[in-house]
């Protein structure tokens, strides 16, 4: 199997084969490497490099340098180890924090286990550091959600295609709308480069996030699939959480609406890319612990009722950051044309989360949960535009609940192999027109959202003028 990790040259992503028939075996990535390198926490002058190895590796570090200015091993950052179990296999998860980076600068890097370069002799991957607070440079990022699902053979060609499109998109970083790893976001669902099979290696398998993750840092959002500590371990966002006073830990949730006492991730934080503010929020609840309410009702009581910790934090941060442009990302949808993963009536409306975001100047909201694509106009004066982007790789769903504020939506029924549409959408003729991600570009006060399907075809592109 060919492992493909992306390399960033300037601002373009070049996918190179790190294992190919033409190369001698000595050039291949080390057999000790179990998760390919991937990036998180691209905040200020910081990024975190993550990877995993067999337990035989007892020391790790990252060597890095500015592309075209100094060697890729000009600097060194020590790595911290965390023991994990992927299925029945004991592994070591590593992270190294790269600090004091220059803003908007290309860096190349390599990962090491002791003295061994775990990527062999191939070209080091690279990334571009975050924009500075006064930057006026264009910003491009990717958004997708509801991904990390494989069949009984451990494959998902549609998801692999989406990941390849993200890798080639030129995005500086990516943000998810939740539900990362099916069915429950466990370490075996995330997997590694070696293990395959049903519900196995749906994120870190060679065809999935390794294709993009070495060059595109990811900010992961919490969803109802994955209410476990694996999400916190696998996607460390320490700088983003600390700099925004957010929360990123397991918390005990007790007893509202007859639910059982359970420990779930509390995952909310904010960060800036240039002058743009990003809010990654937790709007989720475990499907298996409903009590007398619903997952939407329990989420509202845990996170969004007046006085709840997350709502209080968000109110304060919004008040402290009246930025020109801001975006919010969370799982449960404010509005959706899907009948199964329906509109969250606890969060929509002027007196709930939708109103808080809109009245505080948040411009666009990105949601998941429904495995469709949907664009919604503001539901009322002062409310934000919202998108549902749940086509990252999990099984698709149809749309049927048509009407305002939906202005363009498409879905697919796997059971009948038929497409569906509401309002302005074009009826899909194949599932590959519905699996997708969003590419968002900010140039000054202009924001362009470009939905892109798994074959690279764009549709429903919209540009918003967010001038004050």
pLDDT computed for residue 122 by the predictor: 80
- In terms of domains, do 124 and 239 share one? no
- Nearest alpha carbon to residue 104 among 77, 129, 134: 129
pLDDT computed for residue 50 by the predictor: 98
Does residue 18 lie within any of the structural domains? yes
Boundary of a domain, candidates 105, 128, 151? 128
- In terms of domains, do 218 and 91 share one? no
pLDDT computed for residue 249 by the predictor: 98
Does residue 286 lie within any of the structural domains? yes
State the DSSP H helix or E strand holding residue 92, giving kind and residue range, or none if neither. Answer: strand 89-98
pLDDT computed for residue 269 by the predictor: 98
State the DSSP H helix or E strand holding residue 189, giving kind and residue range, or none if neither. Answer: helix 187-190
- In terms of domains, do 171 and 151 share one? yes
What percent of the chain has pLDDT above 90? Answer: 91
* pLDDT at residue 24 tops 90: no
Number of independent structural domains in the chain: 2
Q: State the average pLDDT over residues 67-95.
A: 97
- In terms of domains, do 164 and 68 share one? no
Say if residues 250 and 263 touch (Cβ distance below 8 Å).
Answer: yes
Strands 80-86 and 126-128: unpaired
Does residue 133 lie within any of the structural domains? no
* pLDDT at residue 9 tops 70: no
Boundary of a domain, candidates 89, 106, 128? 128
Strand boundaries in 261-361, DSSP class E: 262-273, 276-280, 326-329
Q: State the average pLDDT over residues 129-148.
A: 97
Question: 240 φ, ψ to 5°?
Answer: -60, -45
- In terms of domains, do 44 and 89 share one? yes
Higher pLDDT, 314 or 23: 314
pLDDT computed for residue 243 by the predictor: 98
- In terms of domains, do 106 and 146 share one? no
- In terms of domains, do 300 and 368 share one? yes
Q: State the average pLDDT over residues 109-126.
A: 94
Does residue 229 lie within any of the structural domains? yes
Specify the CATH number for the domain of residue 32.
2.60.40.380
pLDDT computed for residue 18 by the predictor: 32
pLDDT computed for residue 120 by the predictor: 92
pLDDT computed for residue 286 by the predictor: 96
pLDDT computed for residue 433 by the predictor: 98
Angle among Cα 148, 150, 152 to the nearest 5 degrees reads 155
pLDDT computed for residue 73 by the predictor: 95
* Averaged pLDDT score across all residues of the chain: 93
- In terms of domains, do 98 and 202 share one? no
Q: State the average pLDDT over residues 218-238.
A: 97
- In terms of domains, do 359 and 442 share one? yes
Q: State the average pLDDT over residues 239-246.
A: 98
pLDDT computed for residue 27 by the predictor: 53
Q: State the average pLDDT over residues 378-398.
A: 97
pLDDT computed for residue 123 by the predictor: 87
Strand boundaries in 351-468, DSSP class E: 364-367, 373-376, 385-389, 406-413, 418-423, 436-443, 446-453, 462-465
CB atoms under 10 Å from CB of 313, counted, come to 18
- 3-class DSSP assignment, residue 455: coil
Count Cβ atoms within 10 A of the Cβ of residue 62 and give its class: 0-12 exposed, 13-18 middle, 19 or more buried: buried
Does residue 449 lie within any of the structural domains? yes
State the residue range of the domain holding 9: 4-128
Does residue 134 lie within any of the structural domains? no
Specify the CATH number for the domain of residue 246.
3.60.21.10
């Amino acid at each position: 199997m060919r492992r493909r990790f992306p390399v960033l040259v300037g601002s373009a992503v070049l996918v190179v084969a790190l294992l190919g028939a033409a190369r001698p075996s000595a050039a291949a990535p080390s057999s000790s490497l179990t998760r390919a390198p991937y990036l998180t926490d691209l905040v200020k002058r910081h990024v975190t490099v993550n990877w995993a190895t067999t337990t035989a590796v007892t020391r790790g570090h990252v060597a890095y340098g500015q592309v075209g200015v100094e060697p890729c091993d000009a600097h060194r950052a020590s790595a911290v180890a965390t023991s994990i179990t992927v299925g029945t296999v004991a592994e070591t998860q590593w992270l190294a924090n790269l600090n004091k980076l220059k803003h908007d600068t290309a860096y190349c890097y390599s990962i090491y286990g002791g003295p061994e370069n775990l990527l062999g002799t191939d070209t080091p991957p690279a990334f571009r550091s975050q924009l500075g607070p006064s930057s006026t440079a264009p910003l491009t990022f990717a958004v997708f959600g509801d991904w990390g699902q494989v069949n009984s053979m451990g494959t998902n060609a549609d998801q692999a295609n989406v990941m390849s499109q993200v890798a080639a998109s030129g995005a500086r970083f990516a943000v998810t709308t939740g539900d990362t790893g099916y069915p429950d976001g466990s370490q075996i669902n995330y997997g590694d480069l070696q293990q395959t099979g049903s519900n196995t290696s749906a994120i870190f398998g060679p065809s999935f996030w390794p294709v993009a993750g070495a060059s595109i840092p990811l900010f992961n959002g919490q969803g109802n699939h994955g209410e476990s500590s694996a999400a916190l371990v696998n996607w460390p966002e320490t700088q983003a959480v600390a700099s925004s006073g957010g929360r990123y830990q397991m918390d005990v949730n007790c007893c509202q609406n007859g639910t059982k006492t359970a420990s779930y991730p509390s995952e909310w934080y904010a960060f800036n890319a240039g002058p743009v503010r990003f809010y990654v929020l937790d709007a989720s609840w475990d499907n298996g612990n409903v009590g007398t309410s619903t997952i939407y009702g329990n989420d509202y009581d845990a996170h969004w009722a007046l006085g709840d910790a997350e709502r209080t934090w968000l109110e304060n941060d919004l008040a402290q950051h009246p930025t020109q442009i801001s975006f919010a990302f969370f799982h449960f949808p404010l509005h959706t044309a899907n009948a199964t993963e329906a509109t969250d009536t606890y969060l929509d409306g002027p007196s709930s989360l939708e109103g808080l975001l809109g009245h505080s100047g948040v411009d666009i909201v990105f949601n998941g949960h429904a495995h469709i694509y949907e664009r919604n106009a503001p539901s009322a004066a002062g409310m934000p535009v919202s998108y549902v982007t749940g086509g990252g790789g999990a099984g698709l769903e149809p749309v049927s609940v048509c009407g305002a504020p939906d202005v363009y939506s498409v879905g697919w029924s796997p059971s009948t192999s038929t497409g569906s549409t509401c309002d302005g959408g074009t009826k899909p003729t194949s599932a590959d027109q519905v699996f997708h991600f969003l590419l968002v570009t900010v140039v000054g006060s202009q924001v362009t959202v470009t939905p892109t399907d798994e074959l690279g075809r764009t549709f429903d592109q919209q540009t918003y003028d967010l001038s004050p």
